[in-house]
Amino acid sequence: MADIISVKSQSRTHFVNITSSVSEHLPKNFSGVCNLFCQHTTAALTINENADPDVVRDVDQHLEQLIPWRNPEYQHMEGNSAAHIKSSLLGPSLTVPVENGKMLLGTWQSIYFCEFDGPRSRKVTIQLCPSL
């Protein structure tokens, strides 16, 4: 059965580090793939640097530059087309390798929930598939 991770974003765009929440769902003896899935169309999942908070700030800001919140071309009435576009660009699913209950992330990698139309309460599903 899929587990659920709950995320509360605090602003319109907000990159929330969920690495430790994901880790809590990994049994010590599990080796395989951790499948993460974002159940929202105005948010996404990504992996990026955790050491300097300016890295995800720069990712967030540059996405804003490429996909501005206001654009006379957008036709979706709700006014949040930018969030939907960013959601498709970063994507809803990630697959992370796990060995003996520990994710094989690189030294600087953390997993981020990317809010693009917050603040909101959000959900990420987590499933574990054994590997050979």
Nearest to 121 by CA among 36, 25, 7, 15: 7
Give the N- to C-terminal CA distance of the chain in Å, as an integer: 20
Binding site for its own copies (CB under 8 A): 1-2, 27, 30-33, 35, 37, 39-41, 46-49, 52, 54-55, 57-59, 61-63, 65-67, 71, 73-78, 81, 84-85, 87-97, 99, 104-106, 108-109, 123, 125, 127-132
Specify the residue, 14 or 40, whose C-beta has the smaller distance to its own copies. 40
Nearest to 99 by CA among 131, 53, 64: 131
Minimum distance from residue 119 beta carbon to its own copies (Å): 17
Widest Cα–Cα separation across the chain: 53
Minimum distance from residue 98 beta carbon to its own copies (Å): 8
